[in-house]
Structure 1
Amino acid sequence: MGSGASRISRKLYFGPVIDWDVMLFDKIIMKKYTLIIMLISVLFFLGAISTFSFDINGGKIDNAIAEQIRNRIESSAILETIIIGDELVYASMALPVFYERRGYYPGWIDSGMILQQADSLIGIIKLAGAEGLRPNDYHVAKIDSLVSTVRRSFRLSEAKKVIILADLDLLLTDAFLIYGSHLISGKVNPVTIDPEWFTNLCEADLISILDNALTENSISSTLRNLAPPQAGYTLLKKALRRYRALDSQGGWPAVPEGPTLKKGDAGERIPVLRQRLTITGDLAEYSAPDSILFDDSLEAAVKRFQNRHGLDIDGSVGKSTLAALNVPANQRVRQILLNLERWRWLPQDLGKRHILINIANYELDVNEDTVTVLTMRIIVGKTYRRTPVFSDKMTYLVLSPYWNIPANITSQDVIPMMKKNPEYIKEQNIKIFRGYGSERVEIRPESIDWAALSPKKFDFWLRQEPGPKNALGGIKFMFPNKFNVYLHDTPDKNLFSKSSRGFSSGCIRIEKPFDLALYLLRNLPNWSREEMIKAVNAGAERTVPLPEQIPVHVLYWTAWVSPDGGVNFREDIYNRDSVLSAALNEEHPEPLEN
């Protein structure tokens, strides 16, 4: 090896000594040395890259990413938006604040490496469908693509890598803020789609929440804890999973049209009815699937179905029951999705004791923690005088109340009735007044030319006196609100026997006013049922403050799960589902304002 080396040296440096044997040997040696030199060069290059990476990863690359993030945010003040590829950043107000607080340093990148917190976020966003939300609303495809580019490409220049990592960090932050906002207060702001829907949306400092989650490496658990904590929400998520599975398997067959089916009937439609009820668990699977006889077990299954759908429970398949049976599975999935969103509009704390009213179910429940202690039927607003959705606190009740008749009811109901029947006001024990307070003057009905009246010319106000004909009955329950809606008794008790009970002018009539009043005053020693009845019949209005305020939540649920696990569906009596569905299906979520 030494002589070979000397020959090479001689040849390279001392002139052309021609020795063909030596030259052949030298060629072989040269090839070996060329390979060695190339290997050394590669190792040197890798070492340089390693040294450069170490230097960059020691802080320079994070500084470069921070500068890139700062530039993107500052330019957005001019462009009024941040667009990454074809992805629009939605948290246009919260996101800049998050980065300003941390000097624009990345939250999901450290020393040029994508942190595990990013993987946690990607993983939980991919499960957003279980919440009834869409993963694609949170940049998941673009984030996946950028992560893959960074982790799988070894040919990225440092400048390109800085740009990609900055984009990735911005999208991850935006995804957390938007998804967190949707979990805690819903994707859609209800007020923007329905002025009769007013909720106290949950507020949270999502910027601080994100900071803490990154510090504590608790991205997944933090986001899970932002979703509604109530069992009703969790049960409805399980129902969504179940009905999606049913839908993916083809749903259920449509029961053919025909005459009402009832116990004792036989025919070809009955096996289809059996199959339909078996799929949704209303009929046991082992119950004679091919039998053409409408027997006791099938009648019981029909009643279970009717109970879950708010229908008259008579065990026969008439027009209404058949229509409910033939609603497709994908529409039931849609109903569940809409009502998961409505859950997210509610306060996370409904109150240890609270009153929950479901307009679509015509029902009121009084709950203590997770236990329902009192249930009653209710009557809600007509389709053209809809009961609004809101939450407030009940503070007092009024025994033997007057009814100050609202102007719209006076013009739309009372005046037309007076034109038909001049004795109507006297029959209903209604008095007419002009002016208020010390200037109030009572007006005799016969002094008014009712035929010539119109709503614009009517400058009086009406009050119905306490008594058996008073529209508010013997008690009204007050939780002051901007809609002037309250709970009250009614003289028309027969209406509670109807399955559909949209008969009021917006307020809520309740089936058991004395039971509710006694519950609310149960800690006051002087209120027995007898004392309350006596006070109601006294004919003098009496205000009774509640010893403890109680939250009242007036809701509109067309799908929910009862404590026994039954999935309930109700008719969309106010056509609110279609409006919400359109809003939820919009391509992009609403911008986050805080």
Structure 2
Amino acid sequence: MREKQKYSKTRAAFLFFLWSLFIIFLHQTTTRPVWATETLSEAIATHLRTGIGSADRQKRFVCQSEIICGISVIPRFYHQRGFKPAWITDKGFFPQAKVLIAAIEEANREGLNPEDYHLFKIKALLAEAVDRQLKKIPHSPKDMADFDLLLTDAFLIYCSHLLAGRVNPETIHTGWFISTHDAHLVDILQAALDSNQIKEALNKLKPSHPGYTGLGRMLIHYRRIVKNGGWPHLVSGSSLKKGDQGERVEELRKRLLFFDDSKSVAEENDQVFDEQLEEVVRSFQKKHGLKKDGIVGPKTRAALNVPAKVRARQIELNMERWRWIPRNLGQRYILVNIADFKLSLIENGETVMDMRVVVGRTYRRTPVFSSKMKYLVLNPFWNVPMSIAVKDILPKLRENHNYLSLQNMTLYANWQNGAPPIDPGSIDWSKVNRRSFRYKLVQKPGPQNALGRLKFMFPNKFSVYLHDTPSKELFQKNIRSFSSGCIRAEKPVELAVYLLKDGSNWTREKIMAAINHGKNRSIGIPRPLNVHLLYWTAWVDKAGEIHFRDDIYDRDRPLDKALQERPPRV
């Protein structure tokens, strides 16, 4: 860590040295160079006008062999300024240019790559300017225009990545549909220049939620572990549990010191698996979504053996996911972390209720999106989605045409309003296939209903909602990806009581009475609230402790690949 700090200070000192030399040179220049019939800033403006004018007529704009990514907004920015350079004056660089370069150098703290923002070329042009000064060679207005343009593009790209993520979630994962962040980057840049607040403007664009800043702190911690060589690897063998002794227990303690550096791990008798070590193992299991039995079996050992470098990258991926979601989650909202199989109800920053959930199977994934929960339904009907009808129910009908009556389902001729019910026994199901299946299946309210006795509605294009389930035993499983995309809630009645407590007379007793009555009924939620279905494989809890989960939908790998892609080159 000290070496890294020493390197950072040395790098900063060198940059400051180059900066100082260049500013001194410009201040000492009292005559215009022989090429000039105008001031340096005027000459730069001429080159900016020419270059940007030609870019307006091209699909691609290249500067110093770098693709200018902000070409769609940069012309507007410089047109508004009369093509006056943003980062250079006749007396030297605008001080905020140095601030921007320093901010770009620290982009890795956000899990981003500084080299994505023209850093190499910007520094090369700065060094070239200093070299010209030392050799008393007049500055090239074109190079200075390029320097100005690259800094502007770097700010706009970095702004965009901080504001909405580096990767488009819709193109990398079909299940990610988060609202587009609305911000006028050109206006942000101009306001930051006018107020000398480049750093402050960038900081405002980052997610301010403790979940994001906490991941940032953890990223620094895990990178430090990686730099120091990572943690020890546990060898294969039989499970370790309380009462075991030997060198493998000693190695386990050494590994867990990176998880919990308390005295309960660093015991004098370090080859004994005692009760204190068992508690640390349980804590590790809890924070990694494992069965909390205190036994180091194959799954726990595998989690312990995930390299620190992989965990650091996992943190970076989830920082990117934070940049995708709405900045304001709401004063009161429901958050479902699909990868954790958990629902939390948050109000004023505090968790007032949480519960286990069942999410979609790997081939029927629960999508990621945000919506608003407006009403709930007691004793719901279930309109069986066509995909489930043809994939799951049609094969069962071929075996037994009484299947629908056994499941309390009604068969309708089609999906049109007023379609007549028909007898399943009147159809030769062996001749019906996925293409010819045009029927609508509806399951009546009751104890067998797949939605249970309650469903919670937040309108969305996926037809996904939160609901009760008759399969309560699934909540006892550690991995709970069994649904067809909707979310099954462990405590639906408790959730209904909470949502209806404000501005209504729906007590728990009244809700249960209405459910037992069996009548289908919709009830508006007095205070509709946001629902966020998210997918985090790493997050920081309120206590500032890191949690990791398995990537059940294999979404980390393509995101990792996308984040490794470098900007387009000439």
- Report if aligned partners of 1:271, 1:289 keep a CA contact under 8 Å in 2: no
Equivalent position of 2:297 in the other structure: 318
Structure 1 pair 269/289, CA: closer, same or farther in 2 (3 Å)? farther
Q: Does 1:80 align with 2:65?
A: no
Structure 1 pair 576/289, CA: closer, same or farther in 2 (3 Å)? farther
Equivalent position of 1:254 in the other structure: 233
Equivalent position of 1:64 in the other structure: 43
Q: Which entry has the higher C-alpha Rg, 1 or 2?
A: 1
Equivalent position of 1:43 in the other structure: none
How far apart are the structure 2 equivalents of 1:589 and 1:368?
44
Equivalent position of 1:275 in the other structure: 254
How far has the Cα of 1:156 moved from its partner?
Answer: 5.9
Equivalent position of 1:232 in the other structure: 211
How far apart are the structure 2 equivalents of 1:134 and 1:180?
13
Q: Does 1:466 align with 2:448?
A: no
How far has the Cα of 1:286 moved from its partner?
Answer: 6.1
- What is the percent sequence identity of the aligned residues? 46
Structure 1 pair 485/282, CA: closer, same or farther in 2 (3 Å)? farther
How far apart are the structure 1 equivalents of 2:184 and 2:27?
46
Partner AA of 1:100 in structure 2: H
Q: Does 1:50 align with 2:65?
A: no
Partner AA of 2:206 in structure 1: A
Partner of residue 433 from structure 2, selected from 448, 451, 454: 454
Q: Does 1:565 align with 2:551?
A: no
- Deviation by residue 1:28-63 (Cα, 9 ceiling, x = unmatched): xxxxxxxxxxxxxxxxxx999624379979x72212
Partner of residue 410 from structure 1, selected from 385, 389, 412: 389
Equivalent position of 2:10 in the other structure: none
- Report if aligned partners of 1:434, 1:460 keep a CA contact under 8 Å in 2: yes
Which structure 2 residues correspond to residues 115-126 of structure 1 after superposition, within 5 A? 115-126=94-105
Partner of residue 372 from structure 1, selected from 351, 354, 357: 351
How far apart are the structure 2 equivalents of 1:67 and 1:492?
72
Q: Does 1:169 align with 2:136?
A: no
- Report if aligned partners of 2:415, 2:440 keep a CA contact under 8 Å in 1: no
How far has the Cα of 1:548 moved from its partner?
Answer: 2.0
Equivalent position of 1:24 in the other structure: none
Equivalent position of 2:5 in the other structure: none
- Report if aligned partners of 1:278, 1:284 keep a CA contact under 8 Å in 2: no
- Deviation by residue 1:287-337 (Cα, 9 ceiling, x = unmatched): 226622111111011001000000000000111111111111111011001
Q: Does 1:91 align with 2:41?
A: no
Corresponding residue SS for 1:581: helix
Partner of residue 103 from structure 1, selected from 82, 88, 103: 82
How far has the Cα of 1:85 moved from its partner?
Answer: 2.2
Q: Decide which moves more: 145-154 or 330-339.
A: 145-154
Equivalent position of 1:482 in the other structure: 461
Partner AA of 2:440 in structure 1: W
Q: Decide which moves more: 259-268 or 502-511.
A: 259-268
How far apart are the structure 2 equivalents of 1:389 and 1:48?
59
Structure 1 pair 56/116, CA: closer, same or farther in 2 (3 Å)? farther
Structure 1 pair 320/138, CA: closer, same or farther in 2 (3 Å)? same
- Report if aligned partners of 1:185, 1:203 keep a CA contact under 8 Å in 2: no
How far apart are the structure 1 equivalents of 2:140 and 2:415?
75
- Report if aligned partners of 2:366, 2:485 keep a CA contact under 8 Å in 1: yes
Corresponding residue SS for 1:457: coil
Partner of residue 276 from structure 2, selected from 297, 302, 307: 297
How far apart are the structure 1 equivalents of 2:183 and 2:160?
8
How far apart are the structure 2 equivalents of 1:213 and 1:390?
32
How far apart are the structure 2 equivalents of 1:88 and 1:290?
61
Equivalent position of 1:23 in the other structure: none
Structure 2 runs not aligned, ≥5 long: 1-25
How far has the Cα of 1:273 moved from its partner?
Answer: 0.6
RMSD: 2.1
Partner AA of 1:73 in structure 2: I
Q: Does 1:400 align with 2:379?
A: yes
How far apart are the structure 2 equivalents of 1:224 and 1:47?
32
- Report if aligned partners of 1:274, 1:283 keep a CA contact under 8 Å in 2: no
Equivalent position of 2:23 in the other structure: none
How far apart are the structure 2 equivalents of 1:174 and 1:390?
30
Equivalent position of 2:245 in the other structure: 266
- Report if aligned partners of 2:374, 2:458 keep a CA contact under 8 Å in 1: yes
Equivalent position of 2:191 in the other structure: 212
Q: Does 1:420 align with 2:403?
A: no
- Deviation by residue 1:510-533 (Cα, 9 ceiling, x = unmatched): 111111111111113320011111
TM-score, normalization by structure 2: 0.92
Equivalent position of 1:550 in the other structure: 529
How far has the Cα of 1:153 moved from its partner?
Answer: 2.4
How far has the Cα of 1:366 moved from its partner?
Answer: 0.7
Q: Does 1:335 align with 2:314?
A: yes
Structure 1 pair 55/455, CA: closer, same or farther in 2 (3 Å)? closer
Structure 1 pair 89/48, CA: closer, same or farther in 2 (3 Å)? closer
Q: Does 1:195 align with 2:174?
A: yes
Q: Decide which moves more: 377-386 or 431-440.
A: 431-440
How far apart are the structure 1 equivalents of 2:268 and 2:55?
64
Aligned residues: 543
How far apart are the structure 1 equivalents of 2:157 and 2:259?
35
- Report if aligned partners of 1:282, 1:302 keep a CA contact under 8 Å in 2: no
How far has the Cα of 1:421 moved from its partner?
Answer: 3.5
How far has the Cα of 1:416 moved from its partner?
Answer: 1.2
How far apart are the structure 2 equivalents of 1:347 and 1:589?
28
Equivalent position of 1:503 in the other structure: 482
Partner of residue 370 from structure 2, selected from 349, 369, 391: 391
How far has the Cα of 1:259 moved from its partner?
Answer: 1.0
How far has the Cα of 1:369 moved from its partner?
Answer: 2.6
How far apart are the structure 1 equivalents of 2:227 and 2:141?
43
Structure 1 pair 534/286, CA: closer, same or farther in 2 (3 Å)? closer
Q: Decide which moves more: 417-426 or 290-299.
A: 417-426
How far apart are the structure 2 equivalents of 1:301 and 1:77?
62
Partner AA of 1:103 in structure 2: G
- Report if aligned partners of 2:504, 2:526 keep a CA contact under 8 Å in 1: no
Q: Does 1:432 align with 2:411?
A: yes
Structure 1 pair 571/286, CA: closer, same or farther in 2 (3 Å)? closer
Partner AA of 1:539 in structure 2: G
Q: Decide which moves more: 135-144 or 576-585.
A: 135-144
Structure 1 pair 582/319, CA: closer, same or farther in 2 (3 Å)? same
- Report if aligned partners of 2:97, 2:151 keep a CA contact under 8 Å in 1: yes
Corresponding residue SS for 1:439: coil
Corresponding residue SS for 1:234: helix
Q: Does 1:179 align with 2:158?
A: yes
How far apart are the structure 2 equivalents of 1:49 and 1:378?
70
How far has the Cα of 1:375 moved from its partner?
Answer: 0.4
How far apart are the structure 2 equivalents of 1:163 and 1:299?
67
Structure 1 runs not aligned, ≥5 long: 1-45
- Report if aligned partners of 2:265, 2:277 keep a CA contact under 8 Å in 1: no
Equivalent position of 1:514 in the other structure: 493
